[in-house]
Structure 1
């Protein structure tokens, strides 16, 4: 990728978003964006190849014009749908030889997990280290520059996805004239919209998009589990269209202008008219009428989220709930969730100029993931990236209330997942160069590094 420039492509259910950013001393500086609404994508997957491809090309062009950069290398975000999460351990040995651990060793131990994949149905889109262990003694988050004589092991989370879904998405993106350097799952990316306190105590991210609501729970600094439900903003719009006897497009406009998810706070004074589908006579409604429709569906979405959390075995959310995604723009949605739970609730809005909307949370988090792995593997030598502090986040916490009516004693925490057969991982070998004898060497120059995803593409299409 261009030096210190990072480009993310977010293929959502209603639009494609591209963000161009650069490493900055306090995080990421956004220098260009693009967004194109499209019907070629359904539930985060390619539905119409030509329509989706056109939208991706158009969005890339917009981002290149806005940023002034003709980029070719991108990071691709994949949704949680059709994904699974596993915990796997792996180690490499040094046979008593005193060795200073480098980014190459870290990459090697992570690639060892990737090399275990024997399935033709799945591909790994993420191996994220939870903890490294040096000589089976020192547990550290970053072992670089430490000395080991026996081994370096890693306890890692592994995110897998359906092989055909990955193939079709990669093929569509790379047909637009860009190269995918790496793929990052929303399940991992959401960590970067949480504050350090939230991710340590245990927090839930609820990303309500157009056709999917994605849920991820983090605790003690790492992803614990993630899942999704096929219900989101478009279902709210459908409900409005049916109840008000109008078209989907008109219902979408009404939702954006007057939608309110909490009936108690909706206004009777905000009146609007909508055309009817079976008559020329428009009908008048107020925000209170609309909220009666919206609240029912949003409440159903939250109840489905609670069911997912129960399946994860959770009984307490110490770090609270964080709402994001396009539907999080709706008035009253935070207040409704706050009325249903006793935990803290906030809406996350990215703070970078040009993307101060909840729907861009996933895009900027993908760039955060790319920077994080570049630094871990020592691909970036300028160490000026710092985690955004809690004070820099938009946090509107709700005051503590008495125990909730819908969340009390609701969760029961489960034991960590056991993976009976540790065979889930990709056949990729990271960003190293393959020698003729089958061993690998780290590229000496940044420009020599082959794309990680080019190797995935090669293995997928062979």
Structure 2
């Protein structure tokens, strides 16, 4: 069986991550990864084009070496910042004759939503179906192979972003020699890290990165709303630097080695020495001393998150909270949030070999988004359950599908091998299948006890 690969590019607040993976059974098998820390990115956006470009190129190269795959086509993750979420209903009509719904029909009804966008400064980066309706009678999550005579409609969520922000990120990524097949917003991606029960009951994902904390709430099986706050790991380090009178770099190291977010569990015996600014002799602090600083800052971050949730009209999170992102590595952070709310709290860490760190959540979730839309739109079906003579099903098409951003760059339509897309058997060969990915669905410290009642 010829294999297909998905490549995601995650431009975070402090680093670029690239993950190469393949669909395997009901999950993803990671083939290779790359990560490069950089100062060319700020709040998930390009701050210095040349520095960011170098970091992206370097990360892609690392992933190529690790995976043995020549990377040409990628899925790009976009942060929640500068984006908005809308609900849209759209339908396509049939002529009264019986029509078996295919992936092409689903693609058409989703594309129709994109075509409605007339704003010059706003770009649709995500169209994700909540529910389809066949002939205004049957509500289904996947209408393929059903028969309609009148119409196929979709109740969809639409994620938009400021056009200039999107274009600059795409320009930087594609200047590194790769082609962006599609863009997926974290607002949509986070749903893949939740269990079906969590998505149904109502769960809040809190991704604490370096400069941004992203918040997304899901209920009744789909995204409800998402937003962000400009406070995250770097603010914690800044407060440590100020409190201990040390440099920011030293504060980062101290946080990583001795940091603890829950004062009650921090150790008085775990002692470390630091050299303060304009001082010669080192000064000793305990983990308890350090935790006194960290806990206050992390509490403030959580309080800002609670404010966001209240602005969304939420006062109870039945499915609990899921923490992820690089700063969720901090000891005691789960215990602190658990002490502040009544709902259950867990930390999500990807389970795939090579990326078992919460900072890789966005990258692997982007691949999950790509796979889901490939299957929904019938781009490719991969069977990894047995090793018999079954081959993948690729729909025969004479016309190549357009990229989601053909209109943006007026690029000619290309044909690519379905999913990312370099063959394992020949990593230097260009895509062989005639399916180009189209726009898929996208495509105040010490207040813990008081906050217990917020989500009762």
Give the superposed CA RMSD: 1.6
1:220 shift after superposition: 0.8
Give the corresponding residue for 1:177.
177
- Which residue in 2 is equivalent to 1:220? 220
Find runs of 4+ consecutive structure 1 residues off by over 2 angstroms: 381-385, 442-459
Q: Quote the residue 2:435 is aligned against.
A: none
Aligned equivalents of 2:398, 2:95: Cα separation in 1: 31
Q: Secondary structure of the residue that 1:337 maps to in structure 2? A: helix
Please name the residue that 1:146 is paired with: 146
Match of 2:404 among 452, 455, 458: 452
Q: Which residue of 2 aligns with 1:415?
A: none
Whether contact under 8 Å (1:379, 1:446) holds in the other structure is: no
- Are the counterparts in 2 of residues 26 and 384 from structure 1 also a CA contact under 8 Å? no
Partner of residue 204, structure 1:
204
Structure 1 partner of 2:15: 15
Aligned to 1:405: none
Q: Helix, strand or coil for the counterpart of 1:29?
A: strand
For 1:241, the equivalent position in structure 2 comes to 241
Residue equivalent to 2:111: 111
Q: CA 1:200–1:383 in 2, change beyond 3 Å: closer, same or farther? A: farther
Contact 1:56 1:176 in 2 (8 A): yes
Looking at structure 1, the residues matched to 55 and 401 of structure 2 have their Cα atoms a distance apart, in angstroms, of 29
Contact conserved, 2:378 with 2:395, CA < 8 A, in 1? Answer: no
Structure 1 window deviating more from structure 2 (261-270 vs 376-385): it is 376-385
Alignment of 1:427-446 (within 5 A): 444=396
- The alpha carbon displacement at 1:285 in A equals 0.3
**8 Å contact kept, 2:38–2:52:** yes
Closer, same or farther in 2 for the Cα pair 1:37/1:447, shift >3 Å? farther
Name the SS of the counterpart of 1:375 in structure 2: helix
Shift of 1:453: 3.2
Q: Residue 355 of structure 2 aligns to a residue in which SS?
A: coil
Equivalent-residue separation in structure 1 for 2:90 and 2:396 (angstroms): 26
**Partner residue of 1:82?**
82
Measured in 2, the distance between the counterparts of 1:446 and 1:165 equals: 35
Q: How far off is 1:4 after superposition?
A: 1.9
**Within 2, Cα distance between the matches of 1:279 and 1:117?**
59
Question: Partners of 2:280 and 2:409 in 1: how far apart?
Answer: 54
Cα distance change of structure 1 residues 159 and 446 upon mapping to structure 2, 3 Å threshold: farther
Q: What pairs up with 1:382-421 in 2 under 5 angstroms?
A: 382=382
Superposed displacement of residue 455, structure 1: 4.2
- Give the CA deviation at 1:447: 10
Asked if the contact 1:181/1:454 (under 8 Å) is kept, the reply is no
Contact 2:9 2:16 in 1 (8 A): yes
1:254-313 Cα offsets, whole Å, 9 max, x none, are 000000000000000110011111112211101000000000000000000000000000
The equivalent residue for 2:304 is: 304
SS at match of 1:86: strand
The match for 1:327 is 327
Task: Tell me the residue number matched to 1:290.
Answer: 290
Alpha-carbon distance in 1 for matches of 2:101, 2:384: 22
Could you tell me which residue of structure 2 aligns to residue 360 of structure 1?
360
Give the 5 Å matches for 1:85-104. 85-104=85-104
Instruction: Give SS of 1:30's match.
Output: strand
Q: TM-score, normalised by structure 1?
A: 0.85
Kept in 2, the 8 Å contact 1:23–1:29? The answer is yes
Give the deviation of 1:445 after TM superposition: 5.2
**Contact 1:42 1:211 (C-alpha < 8 Å) held by counterparts:** yes
Q: How far apart in 2 are the matches of 1:325 and 1:445?
A: 40
Is the alpha carbon distance of 1:96 and 1:383 closer, same or farther for their aligned partners in structure 2, counting shifts above 3 Å?
farther
Secondary structure in 2 matching 1:184: strand
Equivalent in the alignment of 1:266: 266
Q: Distance in 2 between matches of 1:188 and 1:118?
A: 23
Structure 2 counterpart SS, 1:191: helix
For the 8 Å contact 2:380–2:395, the answer to whether it is kept is no
Q: Is the 8 Å Cα contact of residues 53 and 176 (structure 2) preserved in structure 1?
A: yes
CA deviation string 1:328-380 (max 9, x = no partner): 00000000000000000000000000000000000000000000000000001
Residues 118-147 of structure 1, C-alpha deviations (whole Å, 9 max, x = no match): 101110110000000000000000000000
Q: Distance in 2 between matches of 1:200 and 1:4?
A: 31
TM-fit CA distance, 1:41 = 0.3
CA deviation string 1:151-172 (max 9, x = no partner)? 0000000000110100000000
Query: CA separation in 1, counterparts of 2:22 and 2:328?
Result: 27
1:446 is displaced (CA, Å) by 9.8
Within the alignment, does 1:189 sit opposite 2:141 as a pair?
no
Give structure 1 stretches of 5+ with no counterpart: 386-441
Deviations along 1:193-239, one digit per CA (max 9) or x if unpaired, are 11111011110000000000000000011000000000000000000
